[in-house]
Every structure is written in structure tokens, then in C-alpha cells.
Amino acid sequence: MQYYRYKDETSLTCLLCKHYCTLKKDSHGICGINFNIDEHLVNKTYGHPSTVHVDPIEKKPLYHFLPSSSSLSIGTVGCNFRCPFCQNYSISQTSTVDESSFYTPQDLVNLALKYKTKSISYTYNEPTIWYPYAKDIGMLAKEYGLKNVFVSSGYESKEVLEDMKYWVDAANIDLKSFSHEYYKKVLKTDLDGVLESLIEFAKSNIWLEITTLIIPNINDSDEEIHKMAEFISSKLGTDIPWHFSAFHPDYKMLDTPSTSLESLQRAKAIAQSYAIKYVYLGNIRTNTNTYCDKCHAELIQRNGFFAEYSNMQGNQCLACENIIPGVFR
């Protein structure tokens, strides 16, 4: 795809995310890393990841996508959100690029093959803003039989959303709140844009899971959880796994208390009241196993980020032959 279009003789419109920033000569967008240089869009992080790790896929979190496998996980710097609770703020809220190391797409695919990962994940900071680099890696990864995973806040442009369908295999998208005001005033984005992205992901062949970080006195009210659950169940479907994650004080929210297990369990109960079949709690010690939604047999046991199959073969529950949604084995 073309990652920009010309607005006038010297200005560009960036097509990577829904901000659709206008970039005048030598200026950058909200993300701080995409520049108009000589009337072309230049991504300053291309080839310069800030973080490269091998992670369990459960850490993304993805629970219905190749459980127990590992994923080469890559992040750069910059973000198109301004979340005050960001746990990766040291890389997401800076635009300073460390150019001392350089990784070509082939270098990263070689690392994935070396460590025998089944996928490459574009994560840690918002991958939408370094989409040209991610796509070059991902297209090459597909040639070697590797899967591609996007971990995102869901503010992709309509152009990128369409383009992702050709190479991305799975995505975990944050639904941070159901308040238009909170998205606009605090996160500096638009809730409707995220909801539009979620609908497009759900309609595509990209395996989708959703994460909501539950923050005390911010998005943990019954009313807000009900609104999210109603949207997911009616617009996206009840098969999509929904992860409620516990908040811990960080970045600009050090005075906010951690999320209690009781608060997460209450959110889970609300989600299940809308017939959402697979609801998981994270960042806290609790049962994260997967159970058959039909006969309730235990299918996948999890201990932290370690997962083990029990009564399951492929996508099928061995106890009742129910088909479990996801990408398994």
C-alpha cells in the first residue's frame, strides 16, 4: 500500500493511523517518528527496534492462538496514544531512536528461526506507527512459515486495516474504556475509531482477542463494563476471548491503587452475562484455564505463561466434540 498521500506541493497526509496527520516539510506526526522528508514519508524507527525478546504467546495475551508456543517480540519507540498508565512508557512516550543497532527484516526472521518461535509479534509500543517495517518483516516471515501477531490499541487507518488482512494472522486489541470523553481528553484519540477497527478485525480472517485493563475509578464501573460487553457480544460475537487485566501503579498513575481480584471477577461475571464464552483474568493470580463452553471440560491448563493441553485435539473438545474457536496446534 501507499503509506501517504500528497495534500499539496510540500505537505503529506500520513495514512498509517486514524489521526491522518498532515506533515509539512521536515515535520513529524503525533507519533513523533514519521516524518515528511523530501515529500516522502520516512519512518525513523525502520531497522531500529528498541526491544527484541522471545516471549510466550500467552504474554500478548493470546490464549486461543497457538497456545504454549513462543513468539519473537519486537517493539520500537513512539506512540499515537497518550495513556497515563502505560507500562512501556520508557519506549512508547519517547521519539528518541537508538541508531546504534540495525536489524533488517531478514535479520529478525533469522532470529525467529534460530529460537524456533512459531510467530513474530509486533508489540511493546504501537506497531501501527511503524507499520512499514512490521509489514516488511511479516511478509518475509510468511515465506518461512511463521505467523504474524499485532498487539495494538486499535487506531489503524482504514487503509492499514485493509492491508493487514493479507499478512497478519492474529491480533490482540486494547479496548481501554467505553467513554468517548476519556479517549478524547486523556488518551488523545477517539473511541469510535477503535470500535470501527474492532468491527473490521472481527469481520476479517485475523484471529482477534481483546484486552481491557481495569483501572480503579476510571473504567471499572458496572455501567461501563456492561456497555463494553454489549458492544462485544452484539457487534463482534461471543466467541472472541476477552482479557480483563489488573492495573498496577505506573508512569503518571502511581497514586492509583492496584485492581482487586474482586473487581476483575465482577467484570468477568458481567461479560459472561452477555454470553461471552471465553473471559480471562490477567496480571493477577487466578485460574486462567480454558474450558469447553458446552460441557465445561478443562481443555488447556495454564500456570503463569506456561500452557498445556488436556482434553483437546486440534480445535475439538475430546469430551463432547464441541469445536473451540481459535488457532490451535
Residues 259-310 have pLDDT tens digits of: 999 999 999 999 999 999 999 999 999 999 999 999 999 999 999 899 999 9
Measuring CA to CA, how many Å separate 245 from each of 107, 219, 285?
33, 12, 11
DSSP at 285: S
Domain 51-288: CATH class, spelled out:
alpha beta
Residues 159-193 have pLDDT tens digits of: 999 999 999 999 999 999 999 999 999 999 999 99
Average pLDDT, whole number, for the chain?
Answer: 97
Cell readout for 39 is 515529500
CB 122 within 8 A of CB 287: no
pLDDT band at 125 (very low <50, low <70, confident <90, very high): very high
What pLDDT is recorded for position 306?
92
Give the residue-averaged pLDDT of 207-219: 98
Q: Does the reported pTM lie above 0.95?
A: yes
Where are any strands of DSSP class E within 16-89?
22-23, 34-37, 40-43, 51-56, 70-75
Alpha carbons 226 and 218: distance in angstroms, whole number: 14
pLDDT band at 254 (very low <50, low <70, confident <90, very high): very high
Task: Write down the domain spans for the chain.
Answer: 4-42, 51-288, 296-329
What pLDDT is recorded for position 211?
98
CB 177 within 8 A of CB 219: yes
Residues 235-246 have pLDDT tens digits of: 999 999 999 999
Contacts with 58 (C-beta within 8 Å, 6 or more apart), sequence order: 67, 68, 302, 305, 306, 307
Give the residue-averaged pLDDT of 66-80: 98
Give the residue-averaged pLDDT of 120-145: 98
Measuring CA to CA, how many Å separate 29 from each of 39, 44, 59, 174, 186?
14, 12, 30, 22, 18
What pLDDT is recorded for position 287?
95
What pLDDT is recorded for position 15?
98
β-bridge partners, 35:
28, 42
Residue 206 has pLDDT above 90, yes or no: yes
CB 264 within 8 A of CB 244: yes
What pLDDT is recorded for position 194?
98
What pLDDT is recorded for position 159?
98
What pLDDT is recorded for position 329?
79
Measuring CA to CA, how many Å separate 46 from each of 41, 59, 78, 105, 208?
12, 25, 12, 10, 26
Give the residue-averaged pLDDT of 74-81: 98
